[in-house]
Amino acid sequence: MSIPTPSKKILLGITGGIAAYKAAELVRLLVKQNMDVQAVMTASACQFITPLTLQALSGKPVLTDLWDNAGNGMSHISLARDADAIVIAPASANFITKLVHGAADDLLSTLCLARGKCPLFVAPAMNVEMWQNPATQRNVAQLAQDGIAVLGPVSGDQACGEVGLGRMLEPEALLEELETSFQPKILQGKNVMVTAGATFEAIDPVRGITNLSSGKMGYAVARAAQEMGATVTLVSAACLDAPRGVNVISVVSAQNMLDTVMAHIAKQDIFIGVAAVSDYRMTNPKPQKIKKDGNALSLELVQNTDILATVANLPKPPFCVGFAAESENLLKYAEQKRRQKNLPLLAANLVQYGFGGDENTLILLDEEGSHPLPTANKLTLARQLLQHIASLLGK
């Protein structure tokens, strides 16, 4: 069964730049994700933000001085080796230069040099001219060659009043990069297709039939699959921000979704139908807006093709996973659905939990029986679902 990601030890290095104030938010986000954060500040960083702020947020004294722990053996080496990742945010132009040359003249640079196999992430932040200077560009290229992950910078307003490349990646984005790096790459080499959102069946040019579904669960599944190394195609009837690195194809109706899925299904290894597909569409959608005339209105509907069942019953189907939202008899109805559609795995949930929230509760049903996944945010559930899929595929 799937195991939640264990809490990670992060060594967060803060160097001298105005973006240092954002490190406080980054610490807060990391701690919220149950990560153990040890902040290390350079002397210049302490000019921009006080160690006390980061100590209060991380719950640990902040390290600033190479000699603080001098009586404590080779503490800088063990600090770096114990960490699951070192993140330098913000990384100033000067600190990047020090990394490139292997300088070790303060605690943070020494930690970086002594890190052994601990992965190092660097989030540059500086004035646009400093960033574009060929010296910085040479240094950043060297970091990448040395296996150091450079995250950002992004373009936008700068504290100095200029506009351009050099802003530090926002703390939320840095957290996302870090979490992605921690996911086991168990779906490497797999093509995964996910459907998401609620399809919309036109009645006339301004009205339609749809279902309640935010699309958040499908997007979380797509993101989690991408994090685990898969090449992901998301066929979406929702309007949400595309998960990074995921190929999103937007559709409207169930027929659009079916056509899109079938056009790309041959190369998929895994198909996960999370979308709330309308069971019916209008036999003849009206070309003009229907006018109300005081009388009852009857709409003639025809049943849509079941996309998931169509895929699952192909001669060589990918590994198919369904979702079932039921309002009662959850296990009975969901298991019936799994068998009817010929699915090796189905994720069931009770609809009374509500739509559009960030949390859910799932029960996974497969040939072995049922596996409950306790209430958690949708991304956590998506990761657990994909770990379960990978284990069924023998990964």
Compute how many residues bind ligand C5P; rule: CB under 6 A: 14
Report the nearest approach of ligand C5P to the CB of residue 243 (Å): 18
CB 303 within 8 A of CB 279: yes
Contact pick of 20, 40, 323, 378 for ligand C5P (by CB under 6 A): 323
Binding to ligand C5P by residue 219, rule CB under 6 A?
Answer: no
Q: What is the DSSP letter of 265?
A: G
Binding to ligand C5P by residue 45, rule CB under 6 A?
Answer: no
Contact pick of 308, 345, 381, 386 for ligand C5P (by CB under 6 A): 308
Stretch that binds ligand C5P, among 61-69, 220-228, 245-253, 322-330 (CB under 6 A): 322-330
Residues 275-294 that bind ligand C5P (CB under 6 A): 275, 277
Tokens of 102: 């292997």
Contact pick of 195, 233, 253, 260 for ligand C5P (by CB under 6 A): 195
Binding to ligand C5P by residue 91, rule CB under 6 A?
Answer: no
Count of positions (residues) in the chain: 395
Contact pick of 324, 379, 382, 385 for ligand C5P (by CB under 6 A): 324
Report the nearest approach of ligand C5P to the CB of residue 277 (Å): 3
Q: Is 160 a catalytic residue?
A: yes
Report the nearest approach of ligand C5P to the CB of residue 391 (Å): 20
Nearest-angstrom CA–CA distance, 324 and 241: 24
Q: Tally Cβ neighbours within 10 Å of residue 319.
A: 19
Contact pick of 306, 338, 379, 384 for ligand C5P (by CB under 6 A): 306
Residues 222-261 that bind ligand C5P (CB under 6 A): 254
Query: Helix (H, G, I), strand (E, B), or coil: what is residue 24?
Result: helix
Beta strands in the chain (DSSP E): 9-14, 36-41, 85-91, 120-124, 149-150, 154-157, 163-167, 191-196, 200-204, 207-210, 231-236, 247-250, 270-273, 280-282, 301-303, 319-326, 345-350, 359-366, 369-377
Q: Rounded to a whole number, what is the distance in angstroms from the first to the last CA of the chain?
A: 12
Binding to ligand C5P by residue 345, rule CB under 6 A?
Answer: no
The active-site residue, picked from 112, 160, 239, 320, is: 160
Q: What is the DSSP letter of 198?
A: B
For ligand C5P, give the closer residue by CB, 228 or 321. Answer: 321
Binding to ligand C5P by residue 216, rule CB under 6 A?
Answer: no
CB 178 within 8 A of CB 121: yes
107 in the Ramachandran plot: left (φ > 0), alpha (ψ -120 to 50) or beta?
Answer: alpha
Binding to ligand C5P by residue 307, rule CB under 6 A?
Answer: yes
CB 303 within 8 A of CB 221: no
Q: Annotated active-site positions, please?
A: 160
Q: Which residues bind ligand C5P (CB under 6 A)?
A: 195, 254, 273-275, 277, 304, 306-308, 322-324, 337
